[in-house]
Chain A
């Protein structure tokens, strides 16, 4: 067992830190740390290009497809440092979700056509999985694709398509046949979001913004060549896609960042004439959450390194999602508590991103906190709801 960073790991960390320091301007850091949902689109695309030029856009892809070929630990260090430095988080859908599916199941033409634009951040990807009648029970989806020569005609409605308003391309789950098992007839297909018949509508959310969309597909003609792999094979592709996200569902970097953010707020807010952070009750609440984050971090490292365990690793991976998501909510609740009544102000995007005016009534750390609280009510729902994750753990760990 070896639990310390090696000299080589530390050297790598220094290199990452130096790069981030040299390349991230203050205004990008400020907007990123504000934490609006969706994040600033221009900043995000710009940072994707900067990282691509450095060769670091796809930390977890193999080298042959333009990835870095880093170890899991180095990828972890890179993402950890990037988050804490205030670097925009690259959009997951292309780089993290579809990318590995494309280079694993895609045709040579598909790889050549789509992978470079994902790496450069030139094309953003919409994920078309959920539907009004298919949330956790994805296999009951109804959007269907009917063969018409060398095209499919697609009709249906997708829901909860994250940041669909920004996307040039989308990967969709559609029913290509009515098979005996509902999972069997589902295929994954790429749809250019600019195709006639595709309509994207932003959904107003409780955080005051629109970070997710519904997508209407009305007689959309898509070339058969856009289908990924064999027709009807999407279920295994989707499972593969989700298994690549084993450790990232912990949202560890954000949790670490939130602890720092709470520390800043509670160092500047006062209670009884002293900084809130020094109040024993608050300090203990903070301390308890900090320990939960520490435990989560070691759980991430254990899953990442496939630590020996008497339980299936997939059960431990679901733990990351269960604990990580509930911790996100607890951290933002404590952050809002630290901010106190000021947290009640609703910030619009332009206000939140504005250069801080130095107004003592509204400190620079105020905007974004409550927006995050509201947004994160979704984090125990998306990516496999909490209750579904508990079903999975009960089945994998105990054979129920």
Chain B
């Protein structure tokens, strides 16, 4: 067993760290929310030039075919800067949803555009009654017609929905009960969109599809394949956002430690007060344990076994969410009132914690999912790092 990085991995991590430090400062980030889309196409193209949007796309399809570990290394650095661009939504989640598409030419063309930073993709899956993305009962209907499909239904909370060039829309195929995924272009007639701001400055949308006509080729996948593809892609999205949280927590600790060293009260720096030192130590413990859970998840992803993958990534999400709430919340507390202001970064990390917890399944859902293999005592041990 070893945890060493390859030279390529070190390069990936270092270049992302440098980008965030030099080009994605907190001030720069505040500025980009003035853009109507809630993110910057300028950064987006730069990410493409860095190769980051190709990382999670298979080599055979023009991507870099990176590992789960590579993805974690990149996302940790982007998380430190609270990068708002839809890297995960487009280049991990939706790019993965395209993989089973039976239209190789269209698929490669679109993935090429993703890699080049020319398009943004968004998942339009959730509906009014759904609490999160891991639910697969949808009421949006797709009906087979002469030259393709018509799509009807209301999709809710589509992250980056207005900024996207294409949506991957889930629907039930009428008459079959099949769960299916369709690719729908932003400009398609009959799609009415209402767009709104989220607490972290990014945007989401609700979209109504009223007998929207789609070509035959719009169907990406249906049945078990569609659902498994979505579940796999969601697991990768959770892995990626969890890594981003880790970067956020490290950033909060660094900010807070600096602050405690310089802020003087009662005649000495706050860093000399033991109560505050201990709080920082507790933040360090939580962050360290969260980091460990990412290795647990990466190991499970490596096995290629979807059951192990699901159990481990859900476990990671529970621990990471708890850790990030604690670390960013205490980051605010240790800063005092300044931490609660919009002009200061630490409060934005707390908002990121809330968004992380609520996206892609909340902690309660993931705790149950991580515990799904619990069974009454028998001769077999519960799984662990040394046992699948």
Q: Please give the residue numbers on chain A whose beta carbons come within 8 Å of chain B beta carbons, in ascending order.
A: 1-5, 9, 13, 73, 77, 80, 84, 256, 259-260, 263-264, 267-268, 275, 277-278, 283-284, 286-288, 290-299, 301-302, 305-308, 310-311, 315-316, 319, 322-323, 387, 389-391, 393-394, 397-400
Known contacts: A291-B315, A292-B319, A305-B1. The answer to whether A4 contacts B281 by CB under 8 A is no
- Whether the Cβ atoms of B371 and A302 lie closer than 8 Å is no
In chain B between 279 and 293, which residues have their CB closer than 8 angstroms to a CB of chain A? 280-282, 284-285, 288-293
- Whether the Cβ atoms of A305 and B3 lie closer than 8 Å is yes
| Sample of 29 A–B contacts (CB below 8 Å) | A1-B9, A3-B299, A4-B299, A13-B386, A73-B1, A77-B386, A260-B381, A267-B377, A277-B376, A288-B367, A290-B382, A292-B289, A295-B296, A295-B319, A297-B296, A297-B384, A298-B293, A298-B296, A302-B291, A302-B292, A307-B4, A319-B289, A322-B285, A390-B281, A391-B277, A393-B285, A394-B280, A394-B281, A399-B261
Which residues from A are CB-within-8-Å of B3? 1, 3, 301-302, 305-308
Assembled-state Cα–Cα distance A142/B363 (Å): 52
- Return B211 CB to nearest CB of chain A, in Å: 43
B19 at the interface (CB under 8 A from A): no
- Return B318 CB to nearest CB of chain A, in Å: 6
Assembled-state Cα–Cα distance A305/B288 (Å): 15
In chain B between 1 and 37, which residues have their CB closer than 8 angstroms to a CB of chain A? 1-6, 9
- Whether the Cβ atoms of B386 and A80 lie closer than 8 Å is yes
- Whether the Cβ atoms of A390 and B282 lie closer than 8 Å is yes
Instruction: Summarize B's interface: helix, strand, loop or mixed.
Output: helix
Which residues from B are CB-within-8-Å of A299? 288-289, 292
Known contacts: A295-B289, A305-B1. The answer to whether A394 contacts B277 by CB under 8 A is yes
Instruction: Look across to chain B and name the residue whose beta carbon is closest to the beta carbon of A394.
Output: B277
Which residues from B are CB-within-8-Å of A292? 289, 319
B370 at the interface (CB under 8 A from A): yes
- Whether the Cβ atoms of B318 and A291 lie closer than 8 Å is yes
Assembled-state Cα–Cα distance A253/B290 (Å): 20
B371 contacts which of A264, A286, A315 (Cβ < 8 Å)? Answer: A286
B253 at the interface (CB under 8 A from A): yes
Instruction: Look across to chain B and name the residue whose beta carbon is closest to the beta carbon of A304.
Output: B1
- Return B271 CB to nearest CB of chain A, in Å: 5
Assembled-state Cα–Cα distance A294/B314 (Å): 12
Known contacts: A263-B377, A295-B296, A308-B4. The answer to whether A283 contacts B288 by CB under 8 A is no
Which residues from A are CB-within-8-Å of B371? 283-284, 286-287, 290
Known contacts: A1-B2, A292-B289, A319-B289. The answer to whether A267 contacts B281 by CB under 8 A is no
- Whether the Cβ atoms of B288 and A1 lie closer than 8 Å is no
Assembled-state Cα–Cα distance A295/B320 (Å): 10
Instruction: Look across to chain A and name the residue whose beta carbon is closest to the beta carbon of B315.
Output: A291
Assembled-state Cα–Cα distance A361/B1 (Å): 47
- Whether the Cβ atoms of A323 and B386 lie closer than 8 Å is no
- Return B264 CB to nearest CB of chain A, in Å: 14
- Return A271 CB to nearest CB of chain B, in Å: 14
Known contacts: A283-B374, A292-B289, A391-B274. The answer to whether A260 contacts B382 by CB under 8 A is yes
The residue among A84, A389, A397 with the most chain B CB atoms within 10 A of its own CB is: A397
B210 at the interface (CB under 8 A from A): no
Assembled-state Cα–Cα distance A349/B9 (Å): 56
Assembled-state Cα–Cα distance A263/B377 (Å): 6
- Whether the Cβ atoms of B382 and A263 lie closer than 8 Å is yes
- 12 further A-B pairs in the complex, CB-CB below 8 A; given A298-B292, A298-B385: A2-B2, A13-B386, A263-B382, A278-B376, A294-B293, A297-B296, A319-B284, A389-B281, A391-B274, A391-B277, A393-B285, A399-B257
In chain B between 182 and 216, which residues have their CB closer than 8 angstroms to a CB of chain A? none
- Return A395 CB to nearest CB of chain B, in Å: 8
Assembled-state Cα–Cα distance A288/B317 (Å): 12
B224 at the interface (CB under 8 A from A): no
- Whether the Cβ atoms of B315 and A398 lie closer than 8 Å is no
- Whether the Cβ atoms of A4 and B302 lie closer than 8 Å is yes
B295 at the interface (CB under 8 A from A): yes
B272 at the interface (CB under 8 A from A): yes
Assembled-state Cα–Cα distance A316/B291 (Å): 11
- Whether the Cβ atoms of B319 and A291 lie closer than 8 Å is yes
B49 at the interface (CB under 8 A from A): no
Which residues from B are CB-within-8-Å of A286? 371, 374
In chain B between 90 and 112, which residues have their CB closer than 8 angstroms to a CB of chain A? none
Which residues from A are CB-within-8-Å of B9? 1
Instruction: Look across to chain B and name the residue whose beta carbon is closest to the beta carbon of A5.
Output: B386
A397 contacts which of B284, B295, B298, B377 (Cβ < 8 Å)? Answer: B284
Which residues from B are CB-within-8-Å of A297? 292, 296, 384-385
Assembled-state Cα–Cα distance A347/B257 (Å): 49
Assembled-state Cα–Cα distance A4/B387 (Å): 10
Assembled-state Cα–Cα distance A278/B371 (Å): 11
Which residues from A are CB-within-8-Å of B386? 5, 13, 77, 80
Assembled-state Cα–Cα distance A354/B26 (Å): 66
- Return A266 CB to nearest CB of chain B, in Å: 8
Assembled-state Cα–Cα distance A275/B280 (Å): 41
Nearest 4 pairs between A and B by C-beta? A307-B3, A287-B371, A298-B292, A394-B277
Assembled-state Cα–Cα distance A175/B103 (Å): 81
Assembled-state Cα–Cα distance A307/B377 (Å): 34
Which residues from B are CB-within-8-Å of A308? 3-5
Contact with A along B258-278 (1 / 0, CB 8 A): 001100000000011010011
Instruction: Look across to chain A and name the residue whose beta carbon is closest to the beta carbon of B289.
Output: A295
- Whether the Cβ atoms of B292 and A291 lie closer than 8 Å is no
- Whether the Cβ atoms of A387 and B278 lie closer than 8 Å is yes
- Return B370 CB to nearest CB of chain A, in Å: 6
In chain B between 315 and 352, which residues have their CB closer than 8 angstroms to a CB of chain A? 315, 318-319
- Whether the Cβ atoms of A259 and B315 lie closer than 8 Å is no
The residue among B250, B253, B319, B374 with the most chain A CB atoms within 10 A of its own CB is: B374
- Whether the Cβ atoms of B282 and A3 lie closer than 8 Å is no
- Return B250 CB to nearest CB of chain A, in Å: 7
B128 at the interface (CB under 8 A from A): no
B222 at the interface (CB under 8 A from A): no
- Whether the Cβ atoms of A296 and B289 lie closer than 8 Å is yes
